[in-house]
Copies of this chain bind each other. A is one copy, B any other.
Amino acid sequence: MNDRIIPWQPTVIAGPKQAMLVTPETAVMMIKKAKRPLMVVGPLAKRQPVLDHTLKIMERWDLPVVTTADTFRVFNERGVETEPYGIVEITNLLKDPEWRGVRGEGQHDLVIFIGCIYYIASQGLSTLKHFAPHIKTLTICKTFHSNADASFPNMDDEEWFRYLEKMHED
């Protein structure tokens, strides 16, 4: 099997269903197609250059952003507005079809994850996989997340940064 699409922590494998491997191009397509996408940014995205890529992606596609853990702080320091939630809190809201979303415009239909701790993200993605059929999940970390609907593969920093670059170039 292709090493790039075994879950980064291989035992995360949960059953026959596996995430679709996506390229940056496909990821962008998913964002374009979505009506109410949301980006969820975790503490591993606080460091550079991931933070800048994240900011640019957010801006490029006008994505509302939820920051998990204490990630809010670095965005706030840059004057960028995000909604702080615990990763389990935002996941809990996302699984409720009645929730109106962070902009109050209705539940999101696509959630893009970046920078959350692998295993807790994996658990959150499992929640959404099982209990939020109304949402597609996409992870753009450098690790393959089999519980997502779509995920970047496992790769090294260099390749990842190229992937992220492509997510916000015109």
Contacts and interface: CB of A to CB of B under 8 A. Distances in A.
Interface of A is mostly: loop
Contact of A18 (B1, B7, B11, B15): B1
Contacts of A18: 1
Contacts of A7: 16
Interface in A84-118: none
A49 interface: no
A13 B15 contact: yes
A6 interface: yes
A10 to B, nearest CB: 4
Contacts of A16: 6-7, 10-11, 13
Contacts of A11: 15-16
Contacts of A6: 16
Interface of A: 1, 6-7, 10-11, 13, 15-16, 18
